Structure 1
């Protein structure tokens, strides 16, 4: 596919640390003990608000393979090898179809390519368009079979077609369908996740479609993959979402926003999104997996150099 939209149709915050003024010393021992106790309680509360770095929680750096969509179909084995050489440990798939597999490779054959390069695939984006229209779970079962064969943990809904999300009640119906699909995933030992863009944040009165999805899906069944670029693009702060729905965002898409043209991506660390601030609050999110993604490259930028640059920034700055 030549662009993300056609493919998909087929298919901020302040650090919460608290600075403490030195306790005012008095000659009264009791007052001193009271001050110490209060300071300890405040420090404990601050610790709850200011989780430690994501470093201890995130061991692998993944890439959404849509980043390499111009190259991947032409040379699956070669591209996967170079992704591994760029320092990635995990890949998130896209574009699977029951009749053609992963870029004309069966799930078993694709798993062998990953194994040969010491890569895992913990998540895959799968086309849920027809399921969201008719509720037929047959295709969901096919995705589960493929995901299990590849070794994935998450079957991820990447997009909602415009015709199934025209009003707020549509999101309630979608949430119910997600619960049904998620139960199938759980029964098979997998999990279901939902990946956002920016349309989910459109206001319907005092709420949004995204809020409905978060509230109407079973937290024990449905997780969320926060595309941080699209959250920022929608005018929100990612950590505000983390605070409001702690532990729901088990995966992230980490892609940066071009400073001159916000509709474009750039290498992580080179754009306008303050990722250091976001990563400092990672534990609020519940994040377990992160995937670098870039939907476009600058004309003069080699894609492999680009993904290596983003990976190195994540590894050496954000997770250091």
Structure 2
């Protein structure tokens, strides 16, 4: 009897001990991707000098850039400017109408930048009234445009913006979008703040849709500020990472589980130069 009890206790202890991989991760950083920045963060800087702005980005330690060449700069030249500073362009963006009408031109621009992903961040609709008809238009455009991009060696991804969480049947119009786009041609980028703003659960949705997600936009939302399903809010509600409502440890743990390799900080405040170092320090402070 005592022997059986001892064996049972030993078996239980073995079950609750951390696995070798878990033990190895203890103390490691939660943020495991190269440090990335979204172009929109520096929207107020390009006019003061492209190379001057890129120097700021380099000095902050960013290694990946998501976006296109600023106005007046050729994509190949912009790619060289970034490469000279040790920064790559894994991902760029395109407007919905561009994806819908001329995806080959979108692919050509992406290839000139050296990008492997093209992101679309907005589906046309009446503010606050995203509908099934809007979703159906997007499904057709994304499936067809994504196919052309794949034929050019590029992955298309839709950037979630929060208005897609309108209720629909047993879920939301976001669920409807995901279920009716072809995984071969359409991947997803989660903007964690806009997902939260629209009523979605970032960590839960990462888990639910797994490898459909290929990248993240990281930004935080001011505690207690009002939320809705417009996908629009003022810059005053964008705060440094770790100072707002989002649960970044949970988000990053789930992102790591599903293998997301590209995460871009996007600061939409009007104080990005002061906010970015705080966001970077916060990310670096997070540990398993």
TM-score of the aligned structures, taking structure 2 as reference length: 0.84
Are 2:34 and 1:63 aligned? no
Contact 2:124 2:134 in 1 (8 A): no
Contact 1:62 1:290 in 2 (8 A): yes
Which residue of structure 1 aligns with residue 280 of structure 2?
311
Q: Map 1:252-271 to 2 at 5 A.
A: 252-259=216-223, 261=225, 263=233, 264-271=237-244
Q: Alpha-carbon deviation of 1:84?
A: 1.0
Contact 1:225 1:249 in 2 (8 A): yes
Are 2:74 and 1:106 aligned? yes
Q: Alpha-carbon deviation of 1:235?
A: 2.2
Distance in 2 (CA, whole Å) between partners of 1:228 and 1:145 is: 29
Structure 2 segments unaligned to the other structure (5+ residues)? 227-232
Q: Alpha-carbon deviation of 1:220?
A: 2.7
Q: Map 1:203-282 to 2 at 5 A.
A: 203-259=167-223, 261=225, 263=233, 264-282=237-255
TM-score of the aligned structures, taking structure 1 as reference length: 0.76
Distance in 2 (CA, whole Å) between partners of 1:156 and 1:232 is: 20
Contact 1:53 1:282 in 2 (8 A): no
Q: Alpha-carbon deviation of 1:312?
A: 2.4
Q: Alpha-carbon deviation of 1:153?
A: 1.3
Number of aligned positions between the proteins:
275
Choose which of 113, 123, 126 in structure 2 pairs with 1:150.
113
Distance in 2 (CA, whole Å) between partners of 1:294 and 1:201 is: 23
CA distance 1:276–1:76, change in 2 (3 Å): same
Instruction: Please give the per-residue CA displacement for 1:109-130, whole angstroms capped at 9, x wherever unaligned.
Output: 1111111211111111211235
Distance in 2 (CA, whole Å) between partners of 1:271 and 1:227 is: 15
Helix, strand or coil at the partner of 1:281: helix
Q: Alpha-carbon deviation of 1:166?
A: 4.9
- Regions of 4+ moved over 4 Å: 31-45, 51-57, 163-166
Contact 2:116 2:154 in 1 (8 A): yes
Q: Which segment drifts farther, 51-60 or 181-190?
A: 51-60
Instruction: Please give the per-residue CA displacement for 1:199-232, whole angstroms capped at 9, x wherever unaligned.
Output: 1111123332211121112223321110000111
Contact 1:168 1:208 in 2 (8 A): no
Distance in 2 (CA, whole Å) between partners of 1:186 and 1:108 is: 21
Contact 1:248 1:285 in 2 (8 A): no
Choose which of 162, 173, 183 in structure 1 pairs with 2:125.
162
Structure 1 segments unaligned to the other structure (5+ residues)? 1-25
Q: Which segment drifts farther, 167-176 or 78-87?
A: 167-176
Choose which of 133, 142, 150 in structure 2 pairs with 1:186.
150
Are 2:261 and 1:288 aligned? yes
